[in-house]
Each structure stands twice: as structure tokens, then as C-alpha cells.
Structure 1
Amino acid sequence: MKKHELVLVVDFGGQYNQLIARRVRENNVYCEIIPYTTDIETIKSKNPKGIIFTGGPNSAYLDNSPTISKEIFDIGVPILGICYGVQIMSHVLGGNVRKGNANEKEYGRTEIKYEESTIFEGMSTNIVWMSHTDLIDRVPDGFKIVAHTKDCPVAAMENTEKKLYGVQFHPEVEHCLEGDKVLTNFLYNVCGVSGDWTTDTFIEDKINELKAIIGDKKVLCALSGGVDSSVAAVLVHRAIGDNLTCVFVDHGLLRKNEGDDVERIFRDKFDMNLIRVNCEDRFLGKLKGVTEPESKRKIIGEEFIRVFEEESAKLGKMDFLVQGTIYPDIVESGHGEAATIKSHHNVGGIPEDIEFQIVEPLRELFKDEVRKIGLELGIEEGLIFRHPFPGPGLGIRVIGEVTKERCDILREADAIYMDELKKAGLYKEIWQAFATLPDVKTVGVMGDERTYAYLVGLRAVTSSDGMTSDWYKMPYDVLEKISNRIVNEVDGANRVVYDITSKPPGTIEWE
């Protein structure tokens, strides 16, 4: 793939590391997240135009806290430290970081006073978003304080000679007014980027890369019908045509009518070689008695691969397997410094003895970028803006043991939920909505008779990327319609609850 300008985001364990990377991408600059343990020679070899240090939960002055080699400040690359990132910059370079007292800790909306600085060019507001316990009370030699708040003496600092900058606040979050200007100023005015990362250049470069890697060899695509695998399939098909065969595994864990819809769209609309494999019994058999979420994910992931291998054997030699892995999948699965939040079936579930070479054409992209690519490729909006659906499907939305009966109950409840959201004109306002079926039965009364049936959980969140989210404030009348329909129309369900947990502390999916 053509070499683009690169900015590195060094991860110190902050919850916003992916958000920082997305903000950089929004400036048409390609970036990658790397762990703080990455050695200096590797960083140099990547030839970055700039480096950004993320926040983190630790204290820079403690011996066991994440740190960075002092050498990184001498390689001539501009660096921006954010929150813990500016504290570790100060600590390593000889400044003083200490624990704040009760009055010095700052969280949330905070007024700030800026001094003149390249990174604050064009700023017209004085509201930022703080989240820190520790603070810098003496900057390193060569640095100048360029912002402060009532309780934080060093809200920003700079060493213009070495192009080192740091801010105590979080410019990447939406609550930080004009925070985007801080990142844009750093990228364009300090790092001197030109902004060569766009969807158009990605498509062209990726198609050329796929042609070079694959040549005239045969390729299988793991097609689920979700946004990621669909965009991956169309992109690869654009590059190699009929040498691509899409295998759609109907594992019995899909939403209502989803299998038929996938077959219709990709066989008829896109004229792809498509094999539909119906293997509900096989997957449910493997999941029998399994209740632990990570185990379910890995079982489903391995069975996917085994099915592909079997289909490959029927087709003759197939050299590559395409998957719709995207960048958050890589980070959330614990690749790099980030802790494992959950294993994604197309990352954590791949067996070590796999017989294919894996091709992941979207692994550099965030979800919003995938959608832009999909529209550029001519995929219809209805598919592109469909709410995210996990690779393990209903296998992780049926909480506890997965059975056909419980999947059928959930399918019907979820279909009613989506139908009512669309009727109310709310579907496009919501990032992701779905029903889930906890392993909980409750007592109810229907027609003067006692019932003992499953509880259905409803989840709906707003988000720009799925990395952080807030629960959607659903109108009561819509919730009432949804609840009434589910209880009255779905055999086996007699109670409906609505999830009002944000991410963090919860995840979007329940498992």
C-alpha cells in the first residue's frame, strides 16, 4: 500500500486512545496506535510526521508506571502529550509531577486561560474538559507554560525549539470546546502534514495492494452480511473479480430473515460467487452447555474457520481468506498495549493451525471510515448504515446457554424492536439498538393465567464510533409500543426492560 504521512499515537492505557486516533484521521492524516513499550528504533523506522502521547490512569512519578525512553524527545519528531502524556513528558525531561490535593483535582468542564501558542491558534473559547488527579507544578528546562486554570498551574506547556507540546486537558473529546483546533494546529502547523489520507486514496491504494498480494490466486471471503464484511467483500471483488468466492455461513445465530437478505443482495445485486452454508445444528451443538462469553466467542470463531476450510476443500485450492476485521477489533482484542475488552471472533478466535493466509483489507479503518468507503464503492445506504451486528451474532445476545428456542424468541423480539424504531423515525438517530435475552425468567399474568417466561432486554446507544457511547433517551410512548408488542406477540417472553448504562462503564453488547 502507498506510504501515507503517518502520526503515531503512543498508548499509555488511556480510555480515549482510539478516539485520539479517530480525530487525527478526521484531519485526513493516517495514524496508528502503538504501545508505550515500542522501542525507539521501531518508532524511527516508521518515519512518523508526529507523535501523540495518550492519557492513562497511572501516576508518572511512580516507579511501576508506564514510561517512555528519553531518547524519543531527541529524534526530531514533534510530540503532543495529552493528560498523562504531558505528565510523563514533564517527568522524563526533569519537570515535577505530584499528586493534587482535594482542591487541585479537576474533572469535567473547566475554564482555562490560554497564552499565545501555535497549538492554540484560532481558539475563541475558554472551556476545556479535564480529568486528572496529578498535576505538573514545575515544567522541564526549555519549556514555557502556555495555559493555566484556577487550580492547575500547568494546563499546557511547550518547547518550541524541540517542537514538544503538552496539554493537561482532553482536546479529543466532544465536551472540550474547540479541542479539534488543538489537534489540527498540532498536525498542520507543527508537524507540517499535507493531509493525504482520504477514502478515494484508500480505495485506489488498497485495490492495487490486493492485486499485488493476491495476483491470480483464489480467495474465500467470510461474508456475514454486516457492514464490515460486506465492504471487505465488495472491495476485494473490485480488485480480483471472479477469483473471489464469498462463503456465507448461516450459523442459526442471525437476525430474522437475515440469511435470505444476504443471499439476495450479494448474489443478485453484486453478481458475486456466493455459497450459502446452512449449519445451524452444527453451531448449536458446539455451543451446547456453554455459558461463558469468551468461550462462546472462541467456539463460534473456530467453527467459522473450520467451515471455510471444508468449503475450500470442495472448491479446490483456495489461498486466501478475507475477513472484515476493522481497527477497533484489533485494539479491543488486546493487540498492542490495550487490555482485552472482548475477543472478536475474527481476531481472537482464529485457530493456530489455519490453512489460509488471512487478508483483512479494512484492518486500518474505524467504523465511520468503513461506511464512507462502502458508499464510495456503491453499496446501498440501507446496508451501510445498518446498526452494527457482532460476528458471533445472537450467540452473545442470548445470555447464558444458546439454544434454538432462545434464539427464536430473541429473533422475534428484535424484529419487533427494529420495526417500531423505524416506524417512529428513530432508527437513524441511534448508533446501535438490539434486543438481548438474559437467562432470566419472571412471573407474569396473561389472560388471568400465571406465566413464567423470559425477560427481554432492550439496548440503544448514541455514539460516533462505538468506542464510547451514551444510552439513548427513548420516548416513553415508543418504549410502550415495543414492550406491548413483544409481550403480546412473542411466545416465551413476558417482560421487557431497557438498559440505561453508558460506555464506559458498561460495554455496548451485554457479553
Structure 2
Amino acid sequence: MSQQILILDFGSQYTQLIARRVRELNVYCEIHPFNKVPKLTPDVKGVILSGSPCSVRDNGAPSVDMSAFEKVPVLGVCYGAQLIAHLGGGNVLPSQMREYGRARLSTLNHHNDLLKEMTLDTQVWMSHADTIAAVPSNFEIIATTPSVAVAAFKVKDKAVWGIQFHPEVTHTTEGKNLLRNFVVHICGCAQDWTPDQFVESTIADLKAKLGNDQVVMALSGGVDSTVAATLIHKAIGKNLHCIFVDNGLLRKNEFQQVLDSYQHMGLNIKGVDAREKFYAALKDLTEPEAKRKAIGRTFIEVFDEEAHLIQDVKWLGQGTIYPDVIESVSVNGPSQTIKSHHNVGGLPEKMKLKIVEPLNTLFKDEVRIVGKTLGIDPTILGRHPFPGPGLGIRILGDITADKVRILQEVDSIFIGGLRESGLYDKVWQAGAMLLPVQSVGVMGDERTYERVVSLRAVTSTDGMTADWAHLPYEFLANVSSDIINKVKGVNRVVYDISSKPPATIEWE
């Protein structure tokens, strides 16, 4: 196992970002809830305590036994720093004003290992309602801002530091320096957790775990399932059986295109045309969650039926990635359901198979890097995320084969236009929604009363937050004209300019 940093999550919105910054230093790290601290093994070289929306002064405020970390360096970030000060006998009070946004370090102890090679007056990012008003006598203040007397501290007799600002956000201009100082120089991590090393060790682990067993896996054409399948295939070859189901809700020509691309990769894959089963299951359903559940249930039935045709299957492969794992064991338990997950969640219980998830320690951007290391086609790695229920949640209201045809044509023109204009790789995700309304129009000398489609394109790094993509007006005008002229049944095109939050990327 690689050397690693343990990150304890107290509920901060930035916790995953801390992990990503540590990973960028080629050091492995894991996030665990503050109330589920794992036993420290020799490979754990340091601990980071995250921020939190809570106050250390609250009754039942999240806390941790610091004595568990006596043998490794500790860095407290924001709430983590306040907690260290509070547990040590310091005084944490409400700030005179909420300190949120950019600040500058007006004093800085360059001799301290944590702050080496950082510059005086460097910009940092604050996000806190409390402040450390007084530190215990064995604490040394090592940085301040004009309004924050304790911007950073060191416990004199221990390898324990606290910082009031967030080094993981880009607004802290030298945050990466600080994290490198802690992770590499103070904790002594070797920076050997690389994509090449991950691929090599993962394939070796998969060979040992799976042996000569048979594995079945559903593929979607997306990045995660493709990279996971490639890793398993490299470990066990033809003992991996891949199934790609056409649910009738894919993009235009996608079923054949995806099958062709997988066969060129040498994967043992079977395509299953189950369109009519899905349309029957969706008949007359209009409520979004009911549609999702019908799609998920039908997928499980089809996949289970196909999997039973394979002899002696013992494992189910999945493309689960690290954010899925983190969210299932979050500080306060699984997050509130905004919409049911589109993964194959019910399969393991139904099929009584063991699970193999080779990507469950990686973030999305890391999955793409590993895919590149594996030599996977860049067009697959650069593919926009596409929801599991597909066009089923982009057709608002009930679903019919004719509505699917209309939306496939619209989507094809929009996505094709993005590719031709060099805009595809500049947006995180794009697609079209078929709205349950009709509008009056004029084509030639005739009055029309036809459907409205909304185009949606967003920019993002991880899909957790997103801004609407500011596509050129000329591009939108050309795409709109193409859609109205070429797609029978559509006479109006609108563009969605909502960001996430408050809107979600998909409409359903």
C-alpha cells in the first residue's frame, strides 16, 4: 500500500477539494468521517482535519480524540484549526463580522516548516463565522492578517499546525506550496502515487483477487465503466463478460458506435436490443422519479437475464468512483436524495454476486488520466457525462418512440455542432430537453403548433457545481436554425441559462 494522508471530514464543502490537491502532489489520501476514524496503520504519514459548517462552541459539535494522532503530523484547516485550539484550552469566539473571501497574510514566519517558500502579503481565502481569539500558552502564532490575529499556528512541542484559511481553493494563491510543505516535507510522503503505478498495482491486485473467476459487467460507453472494464480485462482477459444494453434512450446511432469502439479495444462484449421492453415499462409514466425507477428496474431485469446465460459468474464489475463512496459514508450519513442514483444499484442484491470496483479510490479527473495511461481512445475519455436513464430524463412528461426520435435528432445537431465548432471540449456537459409544451410558429405560409426544445450546456470541473456555458450567439443561431429546419415536429428552440445551484444540470 502507498504512503497516505488521512483526511477527517467534519462536513466542509471543500473536503473533497483537499483530497484532490493532495492527490495532485502524487500522494494517496483517503477521506473518512470524523466519527469513524480508522485505526492508524504505518502507511498513514499525516492527518488533515477539514473545515465544517459547525461551531466548536455548539452543543454536540463534531470533535475527535487528538491523542489518536500523537505519532503523526496533524494539520487543522479552518474548523479543524479552531477545534485544535479549543481542545488545547484556547478561546474560540464569534467573529465581529463573518470573514469570507480574500485576505492577505500581513505577518508570516518563513522559518516555520509549514510556511517555507510562501511570500509575505500572499492572498488566502477565508470562510468562517468564528475566530480564534486566544491560543494556549504552548501555541505559537505563525501568521496573521489585518483582521485575523491567528491566521496560522504551531503547537510548540508537537507536530501539529492549524490554519484559519483554506489552502485547497485556487483563491489561496500559494495554497499548493503550503500543502506540499505539510504532505511532502513534514509528513515525508514519497510522491510515488502516479497513474502508471496505479495501473500496475491495480492490475496485479485484480489478478490476485479474481484468479480464473468469471466477471460480468454492464458498460455504458462512458468514461468510468470503460476504464474499469479495461483494467479488469487486462487482468483476466476473456473471463470478463461485458453487456451493453440499448434501452431505447441513447443518443442517435450511439448503440452501434459504442459497440464498435469496444470491439476495437478487444473487449468481450455483447449488445442487447431491449428498446421495446423499456418503452413498455415507461408507458404513460410522467413523474421523473417513477421514470427513473422504471428504467432502473427494467435494466436490472434485462441485465440479470443476460448474465444468467454466462456460466459460473461470481463477480459483478462496476465503475464506481471515489465521490460515490464518500457520499455513501458522509458525516451525516447518505445525503438527502435529490434524485435516485442511475447506477446499477439493485444488481448485487438480486444476483448474489461479489463486487469488484477498481476505480473506487479515484476522482473523475484521475479516472481520465488513468484511461489515458491505458491508451483508451481520447474520444471516449473526453466524452461528456450522460445520465444513466439517458433521454428518458430529458423528455419531460411521458415517453414515446416518436419523442425519442425527435430528441435524438435535435441532440445530434447540437452535439455535432459543438464538435464542428471546436466547442465540445470547452463544456463539461451538453444536451437537449424536449419540453411538454407546444408553441405557435409560422413555416412558409402555414401556421404551426409544434414542440419546444431547450438546449443545455454547462461548464464545470466535477459536476458538483456548474455554470451555464456562454456559447457564441452566432453558434446558437445556426444550431437553432438547423434544428427547426431539419427536425420535423419542432418549431422553437430556447437556451437554458441556469447555473447549479440552484438548478440541476438535468431537468429531471
Fold equivalence (TM over 0.5): yes
* Shift in alpha-carbon separation, 1:469–1:183, aligned structure 2, 3 A: farther
Q: Which moved further from structure 2: 48-57 or 369-378?
A: 48-57
Structure 2 partner of 1:365: 362
Correspondence 1:79-158 to 2 at 5 A: 79-101=74-96, 104-116=97-109, 117-124=112-119, 126-158=122-154
On the 8 A contact 2:122/2:174 being kept in 1, the answer is no
Query: CA shift at 1:288, angstroms?
Result: 3.6
List alignment gaps of at least 5 residues for structure 2. none
Letter paired with 1:26: E
Structure 2: distance between partners of 1:368 and 1:453: 41
SS of corresponding position for 2:118: coil
Q: Which moved further from structure 2: 91-100 or 239-248?
A: 91-100
Structure 1 partner of 2:245: 249
1:284 and 2:284 are equivalent in the alignment: no
Query: CA shift at 1:344, angstroms?
Result: 3.0
What's the RMSD between the two structures over aligned residues?
2.4
Deviations 1:119-171 (A, max 9, x none): 22222362122222222212234222222222222222222532222222221
Correspondence 1:35-434 to 2 at 5 A: 35-39=33-37, 42-45=38-41, 47-72=43-68, 74-101=69-96, 104-116=97-109, 117-124=112-119, 126-267=122-263, 269-333=264-328, 337=332, 339-340=335-336, 342-346=339-343, 348-350=345-347, 352-434=349-431
Letter paired with 1:465: D
On the 8 A contact 1:333/1:347 being kept in 2, the answer is no
Correspondence 1:451-490 to 2 at 5 A: 451-490=448-487
Letter paired with 2:369: K
* Amino-acid identity (%): 50
On the 8 A contact 2:5/2:48 being kept in 1, the answer is yes
SS of corresponding position for 2:351: coil
Query: CA shift at 1:109, angstroms?
Result: 2.2
* Shift in alpha-carbon separation, 1:175–1:312, aligned structure 2, 3 A: same
Letter paired with 2:46: G
Query: CA shift at 1:276, angstroms?
Result: 0.6
On the 8 A contact 2:35/2:331 being kept in 1, the answer is no
Deviations 1:184-237 (A, max 9, x none): 111012211111211111111111111111111111121111111111111111
SS of corresponding position for 2:63: coil
Structure 2: distance between partners of 1:331 and 1:345: 17
Query: CA shift at 1:412, angstroms?
Result: 1.7
SS of corresponding position for 1:352: helix
* Shift in alpha-carbon separation, 1:410–1:16, aligned structure 2, 3 A: farther
List alignment gaps of at least 5 residues for structure 1. none
Deviations 1:313-358 (A, max 9, x none): 2122211111111112233456565624554332645463332212
Letter paired with 2:29: C
On the 8 A contact 1:343/1:349 being kept in 2, the answer is no
Letter paired with 1:112: L
* Shift in alpha-carbon separation, 1:164–1:27, aligned structure 2, 3 A: same
Structure 1: distance between partners of 2:503 and 2:399: 22
The size of the alignment, in residue pairs, is 503
SS of corresponding position for 1:314: coil
On the 8 A contact 1:156/1:165 being kept in 2, the answer is yes
Structure 2: distance between partners of 1:335 and 1:295: 26
Structure 1: distance between partners of 2:451 and 2:50: 44
Structure 2 partner of 1:17: 15
* Shift in alpha-carbon separation, 1:444–1:166, aligned structure 2, 3 A: farther
Q: Which moved further from structure 2: 332-341 or 354-363?
A: 332-341
